[in-house]
Chain A
Amino acid sequence: MHRESDMEDNYIYAPEVRIRDSAEFRCRVPMQDTEQQFLVDGRLESDAPLSSGYVSSDNGVCFSLGRNEKSGKVLQMISVRHDSALERLSFRNEIRLAENSSAKLLLCSHTMTLDRYITEETVDMTLDEDASLDLVIMQNEHNDAVHRTVFNISMKRGARLNMCLVSLHGGEIDNKVKVNLDGEHCECRIGGLYLVDGSQRYSTDVRMNHNVPYCTSNQLFKGILDDNSSAEFSGIVYVAPDAQKTEAMQSNHNLLASDDARIDTRPQLEIYADDVKCSHGATVGRLDEEAAFYMRSRGIASREARILQQLAFVHEVLERVGNVELRERLSSLVEKRLRGEFSRCSNCSRNCC
């Protein structure tokens, strides 16, 4: 189904890592200004020399930028499960941005082993005063993979985070995101997209703590559930006493695409300050049948109509990815995923994307 030549044409940048003495892993990202590091079973393992900012450890990696440092490149960290003897793996990554620094990061989770495994990952992020981070996380493993990630995010005065969490594939994905807005005038945007089918299970738990006044947060999570998959969303916006002038928005929208899919959603507001604007919304719905009929009456096959509608539904989340090339790449992955062309990925262990 995939023609290698197409891939080569589209994705010009394809570095690879030779993992110990076995297979090679390649990641094709269509961006020239991307610097990649491979994290194999939680250890930084790269042929390329470590660029500044990275500090490796046996158990995860730390990336940090000093004061006023701006990294122009997109830094991609590809975490790959490889050792099939290792069932349970825990590691901790750290991202530290000092005052007024800025970075663009892309974190990908992949696998080279088809075995059943559990990954427990902690990502601690600190954004100091006026630091800015664009962060895209792509989760793409297989049906026997269990991946639990805890994001601990702390933001200081004037810090800005634009985070997009795209969960394409995994047997069980659990994302806990805890944000502490600890300095005034922070801006935190989180987008999330989850596409689950088969008997996959997905859960997100977001806690947005507005601990001080004058911060803005905005969350948008969308999911499409097919077959007998299930998903849970729970999110709390907490506004501390005296955290006046808080503006917080949270929404979660879901499409159930099959009779056996199941969704539970729990958006919550816990507010102890009065001069605030907070809102949340949650919906569970189905595809608009009239729109589908309209498309079919114009000759679009019903399956195609359904995919177009689903693409339109997820578009709003992908739009939040600032980097145009990356956004297009993600869109095409999402489209492939929705077209079911992605099953390849759950069976094959390399060249995933």
Chain B
Amino acid sequence: MLSIKDLHASVNGKEILKGINLTVNAGEVHAIMGPNGSGKSTLSSVLAGKETFEVTSGEVTFMGRNLLEMSPEERSWAGIFLGFQYPIEIPGVTNVNFMKSALNEHRRQKGLEPISSAEFLKLMREKMAVVEMNSSFSSRGVNVGFSGGEKKRNEIFQMAMLEPKLAILDETDSGLDVDALRIVATGVTKLKRPDNATIVITHYQRLLDYIVPDVVHVLYNGRIIKTAGKELALEVEKRGYDWLINA
């Protein structure tokens, strides 16, 4: 599904990603771990097409297409979803309007008619239940005045609405208490299907108790320095990163 070959990227002339290689297949859950500043968030932003990052070399193909030539919205239509580490507030734009614009654009790309209001509201209610969100959120401004946990739930709700092929969850567990973590993680698990894939970017093992990864990568200084099964996450939790960095 996703194939990254020797990806280099920099911001303001400073190289952050120094040759990433990664392959993700349908049905898989990958976890990317690593200390602060290793390039985890940069990788997710580059995959989503954020223009502040410059890709200097390498290839990324997604479902057989050259991802690097696509605009952010084209990547979204193709099925890439980025769960933001810090979801953006958009004052005055209600969650309903926001989601409706997004969903209808996705439908238009698939040659479908815009969804009717009644159907949309029904769908919305259904998907909000996945992350135990109160329906009062729908009329509020996108992420405006949301607590940290509410913002993250809103991200997973949007993911449920758009049904992406590849979800990249950037530090979705940061700033969550135990209950919120459970809700978010359970939501992600419920959305798991054999034909989609998930990349979970995280600092901590605790999220991986809920979302069990097939593969765990450790990213350090812009490169993946270790790839193994889910037991790697436990080992990192126990021993930290030093043993890997110094190896």
- Judge A-B direct contact (beta carbons within 8 Å): no
